[in-house]
Amino acid sequence: MTGANLPNEIGTVVVGGGVLGMCIAGFLAEEGRDVAVLDSGGPAGSNANAGSLHVQMQSRFMRMYPEQVPALESALHFYPKAVAFWHEMERKLGADFGMKITGGLMIAEDHDQLAFLTYKAGRERALGLDAHILDRVELERIAPYLGPSVVGAELCANEGKLNPLQANAALRNWAVAGGALIVDDATVSEVRRDASGFRIQAGDRRIRAGTVVLAAGAGSRPIAAALGLPLSIEAEPLHVNITEPVAPFIHHMIQHADRPITLKQFASGHVVIGGGWPAHRAGPRDHPTVELSSLIGNATLAQHIAPAVGQLSIIRTWAGINTTTDGKGILGPVDGIPGLFVAIPGDAGYTLGPFSARLVADSVLGRTPSEDIASFTPSRFGGGR
Amino acid sequence: MTVQSVPPATQQSTAPDLVPVDLDGVVLHARRGESLAACLAGAGVVALRTTRTGAERGMFCGMGVCQDCLVEVDGRANMRACMVKVDRPLRVRREAFGRPPPTAMIGAAPKTVDDMPVLRPDVLVVGGGPAGLAAALAARRAGADVLLLDERSALGGQYFKQPAVSSGVRVDGQHETGRRLVEAVREAGVTVRSNALVWGAFTPLEFAADIEGSTARLCPRAAIIATGAYERAWAVPGWTLPGVMTTGAAQTLWRTAGRLPGKRVLIAGNGPLNLQLATELLAGGATVVAVVESASAPSPAGIGDILRLTMAAPGLAAEGLRMVAACRRAGVPMIHESHVAAIEQGEDGLLARIGGRHGQVLEADIVCLGYGFVPSNDLLRAIGVPHAPAAGGYHLETMRDESGATDIAGLFSVGDCTRIAGARVAQAEGALAGFAAARHLGLALSADARTEEARARSASNRHHRFQRALWSLYRPTIQAPPSDSGTILCRCEEVTLGDVEAAFAEGLVAAGAIKRRTRLGMGRCQGRYCAPALEALLDTRQPRVHDEYSGFAPRVPVKPIRIADLARPMDAP
């Protein structure tokens, strides 16, 4: 059920209808809990996602936030499990997410970059990933579309891609079929505690709930702050390009050791080019808006890496909102505020989405999550009561 | 499909104004300068490509908007036949969905925005139709340095449609007026770049353009957007069949290249453009099967409108009468209060089922649909100019003052891209905005310029009066096309009404969510045809706010842009 039939009181309110919120609602509904998802309906993270399933450490984050590498490494084992969990969800729902685990290549254009990848792959292997280095000759066998400047690459076999349009729709329908309420045009302005739980203000609607899960990415921050819970997260508007469809020729997800890019081809034939080029928010509604410098820089870098891409036309660009954390997810119950949970997955949040949702849903259900999430606590940024 | 028998290519050289076009191994004769679409239409070739589902498609809009006439030209995939000028021998292949990309490409260094040359004219005018030409001329006469960019290979736009071939076009007054305006623009010293697509608009006042396959940035002191309009979708079963095209597309074939779209032509829609096409095709020797008009036949009750219209523009009123008379003389049935309800492929042609007052089935080779226009406001929306829903329509109109000034400093918007009001209003508005842009630059207007400005203001008022009376006469008796669940709403992604209804059944209510769910509006044309149709559907579902945010968000590039072109800086001017 969706939309208008929202009761005044409900067991659990999930704030944010992205991949996290939708999965948590589905998991709770499966257990017979009454749950509503309130979503602002605007362009955000999951609904603007480009469908990369990341496993290896992204060089972009290692460059931007070198101090976060230890945190990244401590959560690295989540990533292959998260990709496997996506598979499990696809099977469980009997849906087609357009998912392909064809491996991810992080390319190097000189020997310093290759040395960096060699070191990185070694660390990742030690942490359980299937990662190794390919030289130019080996690369040409599996990725003949790469340009002449590429000298080698790290291949991480656990990586892949899916089509977020298909996945999001299937997850939503599953949650609705399970009995979750989805309200699409409900921007939560405030969550307040009261004697029996929480009062949630969403537009002119007011709902009481015993449990609240904040799963609105960077949009969770002001809501949490008003509850006395500081969250160290930032909204990062990012740029995505998509080309006209052609016959499949790029099978891997491609990244670069030293430049921001993800490049992959959907099963639909469209090539999606993104990977961390900036966008900004503009207009009276703070709409994520693309920048010319990102469009030119990102698309021409794609042509440089895979020259055949140059013959394709970009048919559309868009911008979405990534949520950056301190390098790892913010997951689980909030100390001192019974009934309040946070579900913000951290870097490559879409990849981590369903898996992180399972962990948070389990803690909402009073079960022991399959992973120890103590170090992911939302209370780690201070603000204890 | 039939392909005219043609002499072998070796005989071409004797006729200097004929150019060989090799279509999948069959050589056709193009008239030098005509569009590839015109050449193919002349040879009776209507099906140009197949879609993902294997359906055939041909030229629909004829003006570079719908992205349906895609063919491979000299090895380059997905070229719009209607926008390719035949000025040299071409090798053309029919296009298929999702073909492999070309291989063995050479890598190129990545580029940054700073690699692209920045042009800084006083005034940038985007669009070379009546509004853009008048705007460029006015701003230039007032002393500004003016750059005019136009996507087509020849100036004039969709109203003045200038002849592209040296002979074979019957030049009339409309052509001549356009030619004189174009000449005046050139003589005044406006810098003109044709084949220049402005595909992006960015704050505060920056534009990105593909100019003959290379990239330039434009940072003008003032910009006048005059990108015109395109034809509204009439999404009935069969409207995607090859041979079904817009009235404007058929008219472009005739007025630019002297080509008939086919032998037997059915023209249906709302408004006088359909009548004009009928008289033109009759003069060219076509059989006009009928003109199907959704408005009522003029009656004594409409006498007030006729008087108002005649007083506002007596020349146009007389022209209208002449067109009606020409159709009568030729025995063309004028079927009022009726519309095309469905089209299917028959044995010997297209079968159009006519709905409304005079239901019947008509057979034709070509069906032209002319059901009104939608503004091409994509650049204006991309840069963030406020828009509001058009009264009684499902498109947006640009908010601006009477000089065309928007709420972005230095940005003006004129003509049909702002609000549909026809070529004469557009031309008058263009002049007003050209002078206003000059004032914005601090230029003082001469007495002559001020007189010209006053004349434009009164012309704008007069032609607005004409338009009001005209559309009161032509008030349609049907608003939305009759669709069934199998009817394609989104031509590009082949999304049907049934697909959209299924998304409604899942509880989706926002246009963006329906786009992501169904892929409606995600294709090459950027939702230009299906977006208004979706807005109309959403309105029938539940009360809701219909505003500039309720539809699809604007996206750049506003038309597809090749990455190799994006990576090629334009030679510094």
DSSP assignments along A247-270, one per residue: S----SEEEESSS--EEEE-TTSE
Segment B97-142, tens digit of pLDDT: 988 887 766 778 999 999 999 999 999 999 999 999 999 999 999 9
Cβ distance B235 to B488 under 8 Å? yes
> Rounded to a whole number, what is the distance in Å from the CA of B555 to chain A's nearest CA?
6
- pLDDT higher than threshold 50 for residue A378: yes
3-class state of residue B511 by DSSP: helix
3-class state of residue B433 by DSSP: helix
- pLDDT higher than threshold 80 for residue B22: yes
Greatest alpha-carbon span in chain B: 71
- pLDDT higher than threshold 50 for residue B531: yes
A269 and chain B: CB distance < 8 Å anywhere?
A: yes
> Rounded to a whole number, what is the distance in Å from the CA of B142 to chain A's nearest CA?
32
> Rounded to a whole number, what is the distance in Å from the CA of A133 to chain B's nearest CA?
23
Residue type, A384: G
Report the candidate in B562, B213, B109, B197 with the shortest Cα–Cα distance to residue A309: B562
Task: For B88-243, list the strands marked E by DSSP.
Answer: 90-94, 118-119, 123-126, 146-149, 191-193, 196-202, 206-211, 214-218, 222-225, 229-231
> What are the CA-CA distances from residue B351 to residues A322, B263, B270, B340, B437 (Å)?
52, 15, 20, 10, 51
When pLDDT is cut at 50, 70 and 90, the band that residue A3 belongs to is: low
Res B302: pLDDT = 84
Res A4: pLDDT = 61
Report the candidate in B86, B80, B94, B104 with the shortest Cα–Cα distance to residue B31: B86
Supply the angle between the helices B530-541 and B497-505 in degrees, to the nearest 10: 40
ipTM of the complex: 0.94
- pLDDT higher than threshold 90 for residue A63: no
Say which residues have a Cβ less than 8 Å from residue A141's Cβ, sequence separation at least 6.
none
When pLDDT is cut at 50, 70 and 90, the band that residue A327 belongs to is: confident
Segment B172-187, tens digit of pLDDT: 999 999 999 999 999 9
Segment B327-347, tens digit of pLDDT: 999 999 999 999 999 999 999
Residue holding tokens 């004219």? B121
Res B191: pLDDT = 98
The beta-carbon neighbor of B563 closest among A47, A247, A310 is A310
When pLDDT is cut at 50, 70 and 90, the band that residue B89 belongs to is: very high
Quick count: other Cβ atoms within 10 Å of Cβ B167?
Answer: 8
Two structure tokens written together for A37: 């998802």
Segment A264-285, tens digit of pLDDT: 999 999 999 999 999 999 988 8
Nearest chain B alpha carbon to A183? B507
Res A92: pLDDT = 97
Average per-residue pLDDT in chain A?
A: 94
Two structure tokens written together for B321: 């009468």
Residue A156 dihedral angles phi and psi, to the nearest 5°:
-110, 110
A282 and chain B: CB distance < 8 Å anywhere?
A: yes
Residue holding tokens 């042509």? A303
Cβ distance B549 to A285 under 8 Å? yes
Residue holding tokens 């999304």? B495
Rg over alpha carbons for chain A, rounded to the nearest Å, is: 21
Average per-residue pLDDT in chain B?
A: 94
> What are the CA-CA distances from residue A74 to residues A123, A126, A145 (Å)?
11, 12, 34
3-class state of residue A379 by DSSP: helix
- pLDDT higher than threshold 80 for residue A5: no
The structure's pTM equals: 0.95
Supply the angle between the helices A164-177 and A78-93 in degrees, to the nearest 10: 60
Length of chain A equals 385
Lowest mean pLDDT among A60-69, A90-99, A269-278: A60-69
Residue B134 dihedral angles phi and psi, to the nearest 5°:
-65, -40
A2 and chain B: CB distance < 8 Å anywhere?
A: yes
Res A253: pLDDT = 97
A132 and chain B: CB distance < 8 Å anywhere?
A: no
Partner residues linked to B201 by β-bridges: B207
Residue type, B116: M
3-class state of residue A82 by DSSP: helix
- pLDDT higher than threshold 50 for residue B8: no
- pLDDT higher than threshold 70 for residue B6: no
Res B92: pLDDT = 98
Segment B365-423, tens digit of pLDDT: 999 999 999 999 999 999 999 999 998 788 999 999 999 999 999 999 999 999 999 99
Q: Cα-Cα-Cα-Cα dihedral of A304, A305, A307, A309, to 10°?
A: -100
Say which residues have a Cβ less than 8 Å from residue B554's Cβ, sequence separation at least 6.
B378, B381, B382
The beta-carbon neighbor of B102 closest among A41, A302, A308 is A308
